[in-house]
Amino acid sequence: MNVHLINIPDPDVSNFLSSKLNPKIELTSGPKISRGARYEILIAGRPNRDHLTISPKIRAVIVPYAGVPKDTLVLMQEFPHIHLHNLHHNAIPTAELAFSLLLSAAKFIVPLDRSLREGDWRPRYRPTKTILLKGKTALILGYGHIGKHIAKLCKSMGMKVLIIRRKKYTEGAGDLDGQVHPVEELPTYLSMANVLIITLPLTAATENLIGKAEIAALPENALVVNVGRGAIINQEALYQGLKDGKLAAAGLDVWYNYPEDERTRARTFPADYPFHELDNVVMSPHRGGATQETESLRMTHLANMLNTAIQGNPMPNLVDLQAGY
């Protein structure tokens, strides 16, 4: 079985991947593909039309990261005979960051750290804003690989967990069976959510899913964590909820504005509203899946998928082109 990677990996990464592959898998790489190419599986985040037509044997594309670019989804709809898959190697690192953001926001770690770095102990002697998480209810929007791990972490802290997902489908929910609800029931459960955690992908159905009315429906002093995509929460509604005190705090790893190029990386504010001026926001620059082990995790998951394919079994993580994930 021939597999082609559009991007040429670092030699150490390439060697690591090769060491984990079934020896019957022939691996090639590079952006230029000859007319004689006969790969069955293409690994590319943003394939073009030539990539999908030049090999008569192509049957699958793997996006080598979580989330599928919109232009890739649109293009792939023209090739229904080619299956699209993506990787979830970053699920546990992202879940860990989400939980770190939750703890940091609930305990107001950032402003306390900032004060003590200046020798200011006065916050220690003031009434505390810190929130106890044990016994609180966490509502997790999205029950994929990330959401499932976050649910375990929340339960380990003694929190009650409720799940909202696209369908009321509880296979694999384990002890959360009965606590998984369809998105149509979101308004019912927002009022129960002391903590709202978002792990959803951005699609036409999830954009602005959380707006002014949804934030108003949350209990007073609620916490929000977003590791899905920024635009799932309306940024004006989120900012006002934090500024006005309706929300106790938020931990955000995903945003609304990103640098356009390397030159703008040093001076691009992540939203149209000044979240950076608020003490009740923990800000992270979209690094949920970034750890020292990320590339080895990526290559391990990729190798597992390819080894599954050469054994004649269906590869996991099939993308629903209509749903967008």
Q: Is residue 27 part of a domain?
A: yes
Burial class (CB in 10 A: 0-12, 13-18, 19+), 2: middle
Helix axis angle, 11-20 to 294-310, nearest 10° = 40
Closest Cα to residue 218, out of 243, 184, 245? Answer: 245
Q: Is residue 54 part of a domain?
A: yes
**Do 77 and 39 share a structural domain?**
yes
The number of distinct structural domains making up the chain is 2
Count of C-beta atoms within a 10 Å radius of residue 55: 21
pLDDT score for 126: 96
- Interval 29-68: pLDDT, tens: 999 898 889 999 999 999 999 999 999 999 999 999 888 9
Closest Cα to residue 325, out of 87, 136, 94? Answer: 87
**Bridge partners for 5 per DSSP:** 29, 43
Residue 103's SS3 state is helix
Determine contact, residues 1/309, Cβ cutoff 8 Å: yes
pLDDT score for 66: 86
- Interval 269-305: pLDDT, tens: 999 999 999 999 999 999 999 999 999 999 999 999 9
Mean pLDDT, residues 148-169: 90
Mean pLDDT, residues 165-175: 60
Whether pLDDT at 196 is above 70: yes
**Do 209 and 246 share a structural domain?**
yes
**Do 304 and 276 share a structural domain?**
no
Whether pLDDT at 99 is above 70: yes
Q: Whole domain around residue 43: which residue ranges?
A: 2-89+292-310
Q: Is residue 254 part of a domain?
A: yes
pLDDT score for 169: 55
* Local confidence band at 167 (pLDDT 50, 70, 90 cut-offs): low
Amino acid occupying residue 267 = R
User: In the chain, what percentage of residues exceed pLDDT 90?
Assistant: 89
**Do 236 and 132 share a structural domain?**
yes
Whether pLDDT at 105 is above 80: yes
Determine contact, residues 57/36, Cβ cutoff 8 Å: no
Q: 230 vs 322, which has greater pLDDT?
A: 230
Whether pLDDT at 175 is above 80: no
pLDDT score for 176: 62
- Interval 228-261: pLDDT, tens: 999 999 999 999 999 999 999 999 999 999 999 9
**Do 96 and 80 share a structural domain?**
no
**Do 184 and 58 share a structural domain?**
no
* Local confidence band at 174 (pLDDT 50, 70, 90 cut-offs): low
Whether pLDDT at 9 is above 90: no
To the question of pTM greater than 0.85 for the whole model, the response is: yes
**Do 84 and 102 share a structural domain?**
no
**Do 267 and 180 share a structural domain?**
yes
Q: Which residue has the tokens 């860990």?
A: 96
Whether pLDDT at 120 is above 80: yes
Whether pLDDT at 191 is above 80: yes
* Local confidence band at 225 (pLDDT 50, 70, 90 cut-offs): very high
**Do 139 and 242 share a structural domain?**
yes
Please compute, for residue 33, the number of CA atoms within 13 A of its CA located in the half-sphere on the CB side.
25
CATH of the domain at 129: 3.40.50.720
**Do 250 and 194 share a structural domain?**
yes
**Do 193 and 103 share a structural domain?**
yes
Q: Is residue 132 part of a domain?
A: yes
**Do 183 and 101 share a structural domain?**
yes
pLDDT score for 171: 53
